[in-house]
Structure 1
């Protein structure tokens, strides 16, 4: 398999290189296994229908700034390893249109060849909620394992690991080995080929409506010049409208009930800032300050359900 190596000059050129490939960081999406990106969103991005935000998110910035710290801790905790940063080169397999930017490589004298190191950073609360199993073992998210497998394949590494830097009151490092399952790579190559065919033909994968709302909204903003769409032949539309109205009524009833419950709890507290229940739970009511802020004017779409016939009859 031919793998091209591209030195990374700056962030803009790196983003341009990534646009032509399914990269390791989102490869799990085409397998339906990514926590943050869906296949539908990735299809819209690679089709040029929506644009990737070039700005770093706070989590991305944290990861970039703490990556060197994680590698330093790795070198301290694995003194026999020879660790070398690798994030200055973009790797791509042009025949498959798959790419990757490994974080680092390592040589472990106890196993043959060179390994690829994928660095992740997370808050301690998130680590406990998403990474820790009930038996206290660590569950590596599948999309991260796929990322490490892709990076190992493109870099020719013989082994791979994920280094997780957990940020809390201190810094905790966990080193997780990733088995290089050949079957995952084979399936990924097939799914990526199908993905690019969908991009070429304009045929999107199925949307996940629970996750793809923002992408769908970006693809189809309301156009005031478009005439009303006749949905009278749709069997699905009235079902969705009825369910939305029922959910909206339930939300209003729940909010009203919550407001009444809050009032009764305030009466029970009678001015006390804390009320302790027999089972150990606490009700708190304290003063807090809301900082003054200005909300900038904006234009955004709003979805409503109207009944012109009912309004006309009234």
Structure 2
């Protein structure tokens, strides 16, 4: 046997079955997920998930995410809820479309040599030589645009993570678009990408093992995570002798000044067009168009007047709303 063949077989060893999930309670399943990086965590761990930052993922993996706003499992307004409900339908429709048989994998899988890499597969494909894993997805009207050129990057990374854990060579991603069109995309194993993914996931997992928060990345997710991690208990810190942070502060002030100036210019340009349009509601240009329409009339309760007339309502119907930290800059 040649050396390359030996290395290839060692690299593609099958995954270990970490824990059986058929009768596992949801809380226990979530606890198992916190022991490693799963496929759906992969893009967030390397900073390429548009919906979750490494910092927010770190909160979850270190047991600090309790109280973070997130949809409940039975929240029918959540895409996550509909994704779970429709997963069996997507899998059955995939079989009807491709004639490939599929079955559930009732276990959390672990990479044979990298303990922090785990995976939950939607389905494994049975009896097909050229493809072994099925990932089921759904996308609404807004999300459909992300699938125009194939699976979005964060889904691609999820599948490559699954191929790395299982040692498999290819996967199909079946996505139900707007509840009425099923598309199937093939994802081939990319060993160069997987090697880089493992390197970056290991870097994130080091943050977890050392209980060190990763840097915030400027996303809304990171903002949520920072407010949750540091609720603000008073006190003052003096950074006047910290040249790096003083430079960061100076850059922040300069950027905010630039944004303010740009916003003024934007308002002037917008008003020039509005003034030229007059009563017209639409204007065409060489490179695009604008609309300037009046919204529909609406009605609202005059809450201030209502409470003046019925002050007893304020105590009866008052809602307690927790405060949040405000970031104010002064120079």
Partner Cα separation in structure 2 for residue 189 and residue 261 of structure 1: 48
In structure 1, which of residues 299, 304, 310 is the aligned counterpart of residue 323 of structure 2?
299
TM-aligned CA distance change 1:296 to 1:252, over 3 Å: farther
Verify: 1:216 aligned to 2:240, yes or no.
Answer: no
In structure 2, the residue matched to 1:311 is none
RMSD: 3.6
Q: Determine the structure 1 residue equivalent to 2:16.
A: 2
Q: Does 1:92 align with 2:103?
A: no
Q: Where do 5+ consecutive residues of structure 1 fail to align?
A: 133-137, 308-314
Contact 1:47 1:199 (C-alpha < 8 Å) held by counterparts: yes
Partner of 1:26: 41
Q: Provide structure 2 residue ranges, at least 5 long, that are not aligned to the other structure.
A: 1-14, 304-317
Q: CA deviation at 1:283?
A: 2.4
Deviation string, structure 1 residues 256-307 (Cα, Å, up to 9, x no partner)? 974995699489655x7x3454766432113243666997533111122346
Between Structure 1 and Structure 2, how many residues are aligned?
291
Deviates more, 1:150-159 or 1:27-36: 150-159
Give 1:166 deviation, angstroms. Answer: 0.8
1:148 aligns with 159
Aligned in 2, Cα 1:289/1:90: closer, same or farther, shift over 3 Å?
A: farther
**2:72 is equivalent to residue 55 of structure 1:** yes
> Which shifted more, 144-153 or 254-263?
254-263
Candidates 76, 83, 86, aligned match of 2:102: 83
Cα pair 1:96 1:192 within 8 Å, conserved: no
Alignment CA distance shift 1:250-1:295 (3 Å):
farther
Q: 1:261 to 1:158 in 2, by over 3 A?
A: closer
- Report if aligned partners of 1:163, 1:176 keep a CA contact under 8 Å in 2: yes
The 5 Å alignment of 1:277-288 reads 277=284, 281-288=290-297
Secondary structure of residue in 1 paired with 2:184: strand
Q: Is the 8 A contact 2:277 2:283 kept in 1?
A: no
Q: C-alpha distance in 2, partners of 1:73/1:266?
A: 54
Contact kept? 2:46, 2:204, Cα under 8 Å: no
Match of 2:188 among 171, 175, 179: 179
What is residue 55 of structure 2 aligned with on the other side? 40
- Cα offset, 1:237, TM superposition: 4.3
- Return the offset for 1:127: 2.2
Note if contact 1:120-1:163 (Cα within 8 Å) is conserved in structure 2.
yes
Mean alpha-carbon deviation: is it higher for 171-180 or for 28-37? 28-37
Q: Which moved more, 1:190-199 or 1:296-305?
A: 190-199
Distance 2:217 2:266 in 1: 32
Question: How far does the alpha carbon of each residue in 1:203-259 deviate from its partner, in whole angstroms, 9 at most, with x for none?
Answer: 4443323452222232222112x3x21111123444444554555556666379749
Which secondary structure does the structure 1 equivalent of 2:237 belong to?
Answer: coil
Note if contact 1:5-1:92 (Cα within 8 Å) is conserved in structure 2.
Answer: no
Partner of 1:234: 242
Contact 1:159/1:179, CA 8 A, preserved across alignment: yes
**1:74 correspondence with 2:94:** yes
Residue 106, structure 1, aligned to residue 116, structure 2: no
Query: Equivalents in 2 of 1:300, 1:31: separation in Å?
Result: 28
- Find the aligned partners of 2:170 and 2:82 in 1 and give their Cα distance: 26
Q: 1:233 to 1:299 in 2, by over 3 A?
A: same
Q: Residues 101 and 126 of structure 2 are in contact (CA less than 8 Å); yes or no, is this contact kept in structure 1?
A: yes
* Cα distance in 1 for residues equivalent to 2:299 and 2:27: 38
How has the CA–CA distance of structure 1 residues 13 and 262 changed in structure 2, closer, same or farther, with 3 Å as cutoff? farther
Compared CA separation, residues 99 and 248, structure 1 to 2 (3 A): same
Which deviates further from its counterpart, 206-215 or 116-125? 206-215
